[in-house]
Each structure stands twice: as structure tokens, then as C-alpha cells.
Amino acid sequence: MQIETKKLTVGYGGKPLISGINLGVEKGKIVTLIGPNGSGKSTILKTITRHLERIAGVVMVDNRSIHQWNNKELAQRMSVMLTERVAPDLMTCFEVVSLGRYPYTNAFGRLTPQDEDIVMDSLRMVRAEELADHLFTQISDGQRQRILLARALCQQPEVLVLDEPTSYLDIRHKIELLDILRSLASRKQVAVLLSLHEIDLAAKISDWLICVQGDSIQLSGLPDQVFTDAQMKALYNLQTGSYNTLFGSVELSPPPGEPSAFILAGNGMGIPLFRLMQKHGLSFTTGILFENDVDFQVANALAHQVVSAPAFSLVDDVHILQAKQMIDRSPLFVHAGTPIGQQNIRCLELTEYAQSIGKRMLSKDAFLIGMDEAYKGGKR
């Protein structure tokens, strides 16, 4: 292991917060801490990096206790990017990044031409070379985050520890930063240990995940072992809404009350309507959805009731009857524009049925444009 903890206990003022922490990060791997705010992710990282004194246990770097390394030796092996704001006055971004070279410079801290090349390479790696001459205090929070990452990379570490590195970044730079970390791990065999709030990103970048909650590590494992609907609900104590493992996203709570509409959906055409209904607090039913349809994933979280069929099957009489009963109870029938093929050909029967009983009917476009009118019609 490049970095490892054994029976580590962390906390403040000698008071334990989390005990029995056993984790390890190999070369070329990314290990991510996830968990709710205040669960202790930052405390674990700060203890591992010697910013906080450990209460018990051992932290090893290169099979040697971290407390046996002097500051310069440790800085040549581990670089750290924590969440604390830094505001060095009158320093350019180039100068801030160059601080990462100090473990390698002489007593005067003078940079060699090779050091300067490494600084510029680090800036290029985070797509920030154009900021080199800008004052650090005069750039945006997101740009500062990239500069601090460049400073960490400038140390050319064997271990990289980052606490919420995607904070303040827009989606483009979040993706670029995680691409950089993935590249560092795989190409340069850097061991990466980080914490993330974006669990969808954690699922995509991590080789191993550690769930932090309460006074101990609740769960650890491969992404597909950790990211289940039930485990995410328990980890974050979700009282409302739900986590969707397939999409890696959270859905809000389904609207209460009697259904205002039946939505004929499928092939992803219903999702905008489902979320619009949820946003306006309008309950709805939907069908007939195959269980491998993307619409089914969202409908299952938001709909009052869903008529579903097994994947790769055909719609049968039972499904048709269930859907007709839902149409009977709903004042509005909305066709999401779902294409009709061999598997769902019988859904045409639902449109014909709604017309035959004089149900108020709207197309997807009419519904999206005239939500207020649709709502009034649904309430009558």
C-alpha cells in the first residue's frame, strides 16, 4: 500500500469522533470518502496528512509511519489539497503553484529552470496556464481551486490527498479535474485519496469507496457494491426523495393526492412530464412502461402508480386493464409522444379508450406549453 491506516481513531481535543479506521490506497488507485456533511471525512483526511493529531492507531506511507518522515521527506511523497481558503497577498498564480517545488529547492528556495518548467506543466495540466501572471486574489473561486490543484501536482507526489476538490467548480471543470486525477492514477501510478460530495461523480471515478457516518466506517467496497438505492438512503438518512442507482442521481418526493393525469409514456419521452408534474405538486399515473425503459426509473420514484411490464416482454390484457382503470380515475390523458412498435403496439388501445370515454386529451407539446390550462382542466 502507498498509504494505509490501521485502527486509526480521529477527533478533536483528544475526544474520539471516528474509531477503527482501516483503509489503504495502492499505486494507481483512487479511493473516495463519501458521507453526509459533518460526518468526519475532512477530519480523517486532516489526520492522515498530519494537520490534526491522531488519537490512536497508525498512518503509514510507503510502509513507514507518517510520523517517522520529516516535513521535507513527506512533502516529496505526499501533496495535499484541503478545503481551507488561502489568500496569499500579491502573489501571482505562477508563484502560488511554485510553492509546490519548495520540498525540492535549496535553502534559498530558488527555482531552477527545470522547476519552472514543472510549474508551467502543472498549470497546463489543470488548463490554467493563461492565469500564470494573474494575482491569485483576483481570480474566481473556481480558478483558485484549479491553481491549488496545480500546486499539489507540482510536488510530483506519490500520494495525493484532496478534500472536496470539486468545490466551486462548474460542471466542465469538475469533469476536467476528475479526468486529471484518473490520468494521474493510471499513467503516473499516483495513489489518490479524496472526499467528494457529488456521489454521481464518486461512482464514476473511484476504484474503492468508504462510507463515513456516525462514529465508525459504515461500509466500504467497490462502486457497484456501495451504490445501491437502500444503502444511499441509509447513509444520507434520506427522509424524502430517493436515490436512483442506475442514473446515479436523486429524485425528489412524489406529489401527494389523487392523480391529476394519466401519462402514456416510454422511451424516455415521459421524463420531462414526470418532473414537471412533480415540480407543480401534481400527482400522476403512467404506463405501460417496460422495466428496462429509462422512463420507468423516474416514474417509479415520482408516480402515484405505474403500470409496468417485464423487459423484452409484450403488453398483455392485464396491463391494458390496469392502465384503463388508471385512465378512468384521472381527469386528463397526456400522450408523451412515445413511439409505438411491436412490443407496445397495444398501447394504441389506451389512446382509443381515452377518446371513447371522452377523456380530456393533450399531446406532450400542448401539455408543456399549457401547463396552467392542463392543471385547471385536471382539477375540474
Residue 103 lies in a domain: yes
Whether 259 and 231 share a structural domain: no
Answer yes or no: are the C-beta atoms of 156 and 75 closer than 8 Å: no
pLDDT reported for residue 380: 40
Q: How far apart are CA 200 and CA 272, in angstroms?
A: 20
Q: Per residue in 67-93, pLDDT tens? A: 899 988 999 999 999 876 666 778 999
Q: How far apart are CA 81 and CA 300, in angstroms?
A: 40
| Torsion angles phi and psi, residue 308, rounded to 5 | -125, 155
Among 188, 175, 297, 173, CA closest to 244: 297
Residue 246 lies in a domain: no
Output the domain CATH number for residue 258.
3.40.50.720
As for how many domains the chain has, the answer is 2
pLDDT reported for residue 379: 47
Whether 231 and 306 share a structural domain: no
Residue 93 lies in a domain: yes
**pLDDT-derived band of residue 261, with 50, 70 and 90 as boundaries?**
very high
Q: Per residue in 98-152, pLDDT tens? A: 999 988 887 667 889 999 999 999 999 888 999 999 999 899 888 888 899 999 9
Whether 235 and 256 share a structural domain: no
Show the domain range for 309. 252-379
pLDDT at 370 over 80: no
Check residues 167 and 27 and name the one with the higher pLDDT.
27
pLDDT reported for residue 215: 85
Whether 25 and 151 share a structural domain: yes
Q: Per residue in 26-67, pLDDT tens? A: 999 999 999 998 899 999 999 999 999 999 999 999 889 998
Positive or negative CA dihedral for 20, 57, 82, 52?
positive
pLDDT reported for residue 372: 58
Answer yes or no: are the C-beta atoms of 267 and 339 closer than 8 Å: yes
Whether 186 and 286 share a structural domain: no
In angstroms, what CA-CA distances link 3 with 31, 44, 68, 241, 324?
11, 13, 14, 37, 60
Residue 144 lies in a domain: yes
Q: What percent of the chain has pLDDT over 70?
A: 96
Whether 216 and 261 share a structural domain: no
Q: How far apart are CA 144 and CA 343, in angstroms?
A: 53
Whether 102 and 76 share a structural domain: yes
User: pTM for the complete prediction?
Assistant: 0.82
